[in-house]
Amino acid sequence: MIFVHLFYEFFKIGLFSFGGGYATIPFLYHIGEVYGWFSAADLERMIAIASVTPGPVGVNMATYTGLTSGGIIGSLIATTAITIPSLILIVIISKILKKFKENFYVKAIIYGLKPASCALLASVALQMIISKAADIYTMVIFIVFLIISFLTKKDPLFYLGITGLIGLILKLSHTI
């Protein structure tokens, strides 16, 4: 039964997530809450690993979540299911490519989806921050790196590498 749910949920993500790799995260966050396949902490690990592993983040997220919740078959189902809507849509759209971008409904739908996708991502970011707001070490490190991210554009690897190292040092020195 879990495979049917996995297929259904990831098909939905493939059909309704707009705006690239990180756009899948709000859906995964919701799935975690509803099915209990993984926790918020699991999801954070997945995001970190998906961001530093070769391949599009969205594919990595699907594979990892599928693996955590349904083993190797689960990951195969999740990865396949998330790309099927694209496959169907694009085979249809390819025939009317030129008209697609100028279509009134396409433009109007995208007009509504852009702020909505941003809101979805913002809600997960906020929930993550709120859930850790009580921890002073976390907040200090977070604010320092947030300021860095506002000042310069750096690769995800930079943030994950250095924060990972800080975590390791704090843990081994028994500060956390």
Partner 1 sequence: MSLFRLFLLFVKIGAILLGGGYVILPVMKSEFVEKHKLISEDDLINYFAISQSLPGIIAANISIFVGYKLRRTIGAIAAVIGVTFAPFWSIVLLASIISKYLHTDIMQGIFWGVGIGVMVLMVSATREMWAKAFEDKFAYLIFAAGLGIMLFTNLSPVIVVISSAALGVLYKKLVSGRAKE
Contacting partner 1 within 31-70 (CB under 8 A): 33-34, 41, 44-45, 47-60, 63-64, 67-68
Q: How many CA atoms lie within 13 A of 109 on its CB side?
A: 9
According to DSSP, residue 39 is labeled -
| Shortest Å distance, C-beta 109 to partner 1 | 4
Q: Using the minimum distance from each CB to partner 1, give the nearer residue, 2 or 12.
A: 12
Residue 133 binds partner 1 (CB under 8 A): no
Residue 122 binds partner 1 (CB under 8 A): yes
SS3 at position 134: coil
Residue 90 binds partner 1 (CB under 8 A): yes
- How many residues interact with partner 1 (rule CB under 8 A)? 106
* Distances from the Cα of 157 to the Cα of 36, 49, 126, angstroms: 29, 10, 22
Q: Using the minimum distance from each CB to partner 1, give the nearer residue, 37 or 64.
A: 64
Residues 50 and 141 sit within 8 Å (Cβ to Cβ):
no
